[in-house]
Structure 1
């Protein structure tokens, strides 16, 4: 069925591009043109890269409790296992978070350049443990082709988060500014307070402090039942400063530090489930922090735009078992479980990335080239009792991405070479104390701009996932995995179109569709169902993604996003079945109207089919409706600078289980949300 559907969509894809790519003050390499449309989301087109940006306005409008909740509206992105910061995870095109671990190493997550959420934590999400209100923008890169500046072995994509700046509140002028947000949600009596204080003592110096406190009791499902293990309380804060100096303000130095903490009492160890079960309950303290120092040298030269980004990410999880809470207490297996749930965990990643962006011509060819080197050390405290061996992983990488333009044709080759050295924190029988490996990977993207708003594009990318600290185990499977690197290849083909005055005077229309096909082999991260020692032979997936936005001069707008795909996992004996982590087929439609800059009313419908729970059992189709309203009063006095938001999620109180979620963890029922933001 999918094959015929994909063939049918090819005509649509070939009708779909954007304006020529323009240089932006962001990371170079596969850059797109930001096309402003009349809808909720501004679509970033003009490149072969599948890229979606969720801006600050949409972050506030969606009133999400987690970043995972925020970006599951992106085509191909799935929120795995719930709406709590620790339990939920991000899956892109079937890779990333899964029903066992918070990550499979096939997507990368960065906060201001710091690499976070890279550990395989059993039955704990924590892929991205932070608060949405710390950020001004979340960018999602889907697939491999745009990943070579960020890491190796990336199959699903990259999630990049950018924290807020003081200049966002001061307008870039010296003085004080800030904002205060209060939010309440009826389901679970949730509430949020977020405070931003900004100060620019002079031009070239700015400082920002943010403190956000989010609190929620257990949620209620559509059938009125309580969703266990859905309560949380997470204080977060951000401190950020930037200095701009030197001749022509060519130098800048930016420091940011953010942290989120949860001190949970008597909660299930298994964050994917709703009760303690066999693992029982624990008191758990989770603290995740990121510290980043970035220097930029951007003189009046097209050949130099140098960045040096030094980052440190630290995650600490401390457990204390609650006696009597495990269903297996008193059995022969209980002592093993007791040591597991009492084992503390800590993961530290230090990384230095040096990049330079150059703009130059060689004859008739224009180049936008990003070249860089990266050194990274990941240290993990030994936690053998919880199946997490300790050690260090030192990596060094060199990469180059060169966007070459000749007339209407853009050719973008990308290369990454990476070396890795693993060292175990203890001597284990049959396991080398250290292990070294390297890999060369890369891709090629092509785009042709017809000059009338229409373009076509395609790409091919190859990457390798080198062995990780988790492979330093004593089992035969772990030893075998040290001698392998996981490999994947992704092909993409699509088209996009952007125009004005398309169907009516003053309207804007943007549409992008792309087909992708991915093959993963030499697998080291997934075993055959029912086996703990035999890995899958390969995984093959293909799909179609669509994003479109239409806005009229009178304020009416329509946004569409969708994903249609299928994926298969193959066993060594030749048998096959549906890929256990493949995303559901999903369509999302938003219809709304803006009344100037003061009022925005919208209705959103999300329909998903071909859904499964965490055990692979089929789930019925689901349809959810959401209503949102944003009001910015045009008045003087205490309402000046204020924004009010109202929302109703799951309007019809639908009773359903989310795709890839535990069968016992239902989705939240009808929820009323209201928030007030005051800027000053």
Structure 2
């Protein structure tokens, strides 16, 4: 698919969106007149704000949307972000996140090209064989998820980011207390019909004075075997899921003018499964195991931000992540099935944000230095080789604003790493370093319109998995990307009181020296990949409460293969389906939000791989009484896959879940 074809398709989608927005105006006005008794309507806003003020392709899922989506996994919270595709996204252990064709696949839960951070702590990116994602955590713990797509916005967070960055921030006590002194609690219960799901979340927040706040959360999620749209059980041998999770978070503010704070957070999630297939993707019969999964993240952060020193806003962090996947073969011993995988990552980071001017240029300079030590326990029979990776990195990102129109942001990152073999296997040591970076530019016309573009280069340094390969342990995967786009944000566009925002972004990636896909029959030793695509995010809202949110992703990719019995090039096997998501809804003041969402995916038929197209519809209703006995209560009702359609999204190995009714009750006291 050429860029011209891609652009034409997306232009048609954009035109259709604007036409829908305009055509809905008369209907919306009539409905408002008929339903005026429901009270004051909030000035137009939809589910999500389009980030039109930056050249970085970024999407933010805030707490209101997290609660609205009633998701069971973190992956399900971000599947509406353009460019994001889920691999078996409804279960944490067997799911994965794919962004722009990189990340999770049918063999590994990740390919190391999508970075995930929880409260700044980087999660694992090793190639766990057929175990799925290592993002074991619960949506109830989080207040915001930021998804950065592509490379250009990643240099503050890590190297080798070809797909994107997923950053999760846990809830704060002040999210419940609103900054007011005292004690606040919240109890949430959630029920889902498909799989007889039950989830509970208890949150307690205490703010005794203006300087100290503390929060505790305990969540538990239980889910049985679900069925697809045809009534067939999905992964019936996997058994029931029982995931307890917890969060403890505290902050103490002190100093002159409260210009300093110390913050501690700790999260933990556990999962046990008995007599389940080792292969969580359901594509091979290796045998059954008892599996225990545990994920812990602890962070300690100090910040000093004197109000009278603009060039000083320094943060020092200690971050620790412990990920354990423990398996025991039902019929054993078995070297693969008995393999235990453990990853312990410690990060020391100091960063600063400086605000200053040089002539007509206003700078926001973000700099940082970090030391990362990652220990991987050697698994049985070397199925996952053990070792230690130590990395030292420096980064600088300078957001330069020139007048009211130009924003130019150069970014650099230097990283040096040393991988040391587990002593039980030897004492080999491997060093590698890389200098990477990019620049983005945005020009605002002053009338709501803006254009932007970027160029970036990054390297994915060798990982511990490559320690037994004398060639690949010294070879970095390299990637360059170019992006260009246009954005608009305005009010009173089609009628008084309305708002329209959209962002269209074209990207072009070229990856070389790839080592990740060696030995996988379906990729035939892919050594290079070219991908291009267009992403759309749009939001239209009217003063009477009606809104439309939309996003789309259209892309294609080509793989270059070495020593293949097939053609030397072909379609990239991890190309996602082209898709469009559209949400139409109405808000009645602060009390009621009704919405209909549809996801449309185009049939994929390239390179001998076929994924049928599909259309799925979801309904959501949120009722938040503003007075009376029910004040402080949230009631949410949702229907997912309304017409009980049987379908299998591309990149997934199982059918998606059939029709599911969800009810969530939450009370703040």
Is structure 2 residue 412 aligned with structure 1 residue 415?
yes
| Superposition deviation, residue 527 in structure 1 | 2.6
What are the equivalent positions in structure 2 for 1:110-121 lying under 5 Å apart? 110-121=117-128
Per the alignment, do residues 627 and 62 of structure 1 end up closer, same or farther by CA in structure 2, a change over 3 Å counting?
same
For 1:562, the equivalent position in structure 2 comes to 552
2:243 to 217, 234, 245: 234
**Aligned: 1:8 with 2:22:** no
Cα displacement (A) at 1:230:
6.6
Work out the CA distance in 2 between the residues paired with 1:177 and 1:12: 49
Unaligned runs of 5+ in 1: 17-35, 324-333
Cα contact 1:341–1:386 (8 A) shared by 2:
no
Please give the residue correspondences for 1:66-85 in structure 2 after superposition, counting only pairs within 5 Å: 66-85=73-92
Alpha-carbon deviation of 1:171? Answer: 1.2
Corresponding residue for residue 590 of structure 2 = 597
Q: Could you tell me which residue of structure 1 aligns to residue 137 of structure 2?
A: 130
SS in 1 for 2:106: coil
Distance in 2 between residues matched to 1:606 and 1:364, nearest whole Å: 46
Q: How many residues align?
A: 636
| CA distance in 1: counterparts of 2:87 and 2:584, whole angstroms | 26
Distance 2:640 2:515 in 1: 40
Question: In 2, Cα distance between the equivalents of 1:60 and 1:612?
Answer: 36
| 1:352 lines up with 2:343 in the alignment | no
Would you say the 8 A contact 1:447–1:458 is kept in 2?
yes
Tell me whether 1:316 sits opposite 2:324 in the alignment.
yes
Of residues 600, 620, 626, the one that matches 2:612 is: 620
Q: Is 1:505 aligned to 2:501, yes or no? A: no
1:252 aligns with 2:245: no
**1:302 lines up with 2:310 in the alignment:** yes
Q: How far 1:309 sits from its partner (Å)? A: 1.6
CA contact (8 A) 2:522 2:573 kept: no
Bigger shift: residues 165-174 or 586-595: 165-174
Quickly say closer, same or farther: Cα 1:306–1:6, change in 2 above 3 A: same
CA contact (8 A) 1:141 1:159 kept: yes
After superposition, residues 530-609 of structure 1 pair within 5 angstroms as 530=521, 535-572=525-562, 575-609=568-602
Alpha-carbon separation, structure 2, partners of 1:141 and 1:635: 39
Match of 2:478 among 480, 487, 495: 487
Report the aligned-residue RMSD: 2.1
Residue 634, structure 1, aligned to residue 626, structure 2: yes
| Counterpart-to-counterpart distance in 1, 2:60 and 2:44 | 13
- The reply on whether 1:363 has 2:359 as its aligned counterpart is yes
Deviations 1:366-410 (A, max 9, x none): 111101101000001111525211110000000000011112111
**1:657, CA displacement in angstroms?**
1.1
CA contact (8 A) 1:174 1:201 kept: yes
Name the CA distance, whole Å, in 1 between partners of 2:7 and 2:611: 27
In the alignment, does 2:417 pair up with 1:424? no
- Structure 2 contact 44–543 (Cα < 8 Å) conserved: no
1:9 shift after superposition = 6.5
Q: Give the Cα separation in 2 of the matches to 1:516 and 1:528.
A: 29
The answer to whether the 8 Å contact 2:230/2:646 transfers is yes
Q: How does 1:80-479 map to 2 (within 5 A)?
A: 80-228=87-235, 229=238, 231-273=240-282, 278-300=285-307, 301-323=309-331, 338-385=334-381, 387-407=383-403, 408-426=405-423, 433-473=428-468, 478-479=469-470
Partner Cα distance (1:369, 1:526) in 2: 37
2:448, 2:489 within 8 Å by CA — same for their partners in 1? yes
What do residues 584-617 of structure 1 show as CA deviations (whole Å, max 9, x unaligned)? 101000000000110000000101124489x973
- Distance in structure 2 (CA, Å) of the matches to 1:281 and 1:547: 43
Structure 2 CA distance, aligned partners of 1:354 and 1:297? Answer: 11
Taking structure 2 as the reference length, the TM-score comes to 0.92
Deviation at 1:44, TM superposition (A): 1.9
Partner residue of 2:24?
Answer: none
Greater mean alpha carbon deviation, residues 70-79 or residues 227-236: 227-236
Verify the 8 A CA contact 1:13 1:494 in the aligned structure 2.
Answer: no
Contact 2:63 2:144 in 1 (8 A): yes
Asked if the contact 2:99/2:163 (under 8 Å) is kept, the reply is yes
1:652 pairs with one of 643, 654, 660? 643
Tell me if the contact between 2:239 and 2:274 (Cα under 8 Å) persists in the aligned partners: no
Seen in structure 2, the aligned counterparts of structure 1 residues 531 and 548 have a Cα distance that, compared at 3 Å, is closer
1:242 and 1:252 in contact (8 A); partners too: yes
Note the C-alpha offset of 1:577. Answer: 1.5
For residues 498-532 of structure 1, give each alpha carbon's deviation from its aligned partner in whole angstroms, at most 9, with x where no partner exists.
Answer: 00000010001100000000000011111375399
Conservation of the 8 A alpha-carbon contact between 1:102 and 1:123: yes
Aligned match for 1:670, one of 655, 659, 664: 659
In structure 2, relative to structure 1, the CA distance for the partners of 1:505 and 1:197 (3 Å cut) is same
Contact kept, 8 Å, 2:3 with 2:532, in 1: the verdict is no
User: 2:71 is paired with a residue of what secondary structure?
Assistant: coil
TM-superposition CA deviations, 1:57-110 (whole Å, max 9, x none): 111111111000110110000111241111000010011111111111111100
Aligned equivalents of 1:252, 1:37: Cα separation in 2: 36
SS at match of 2:76: helix
Cα deviation code 1:262-288 (max 9, x no counterpart): 1111111111118xx531111111000
3-state SS of 2:471 partner: helix
The answer to whether the 8 Å contact 2:10/2:554 transfers is no
Whole-Å Cα distance in 1 between the matches of residues 379 and 605 of structure 2?
Answer: 32
Aligned-pair distance for 1:537?
Answer: 2.8
Contact 2:81 2:551 in 1 (8 A): yes
Asked if 2 retains the 8 angstrom alpha-carbon contact of 1:37 and 1:549, the reply is: no
2-structure distance, mates of 1:340, 1:279: 9
Q: Is the 8 Å Cα contact of residues 628 and 647 (structure 1) preserved in structure 2?
A: yes
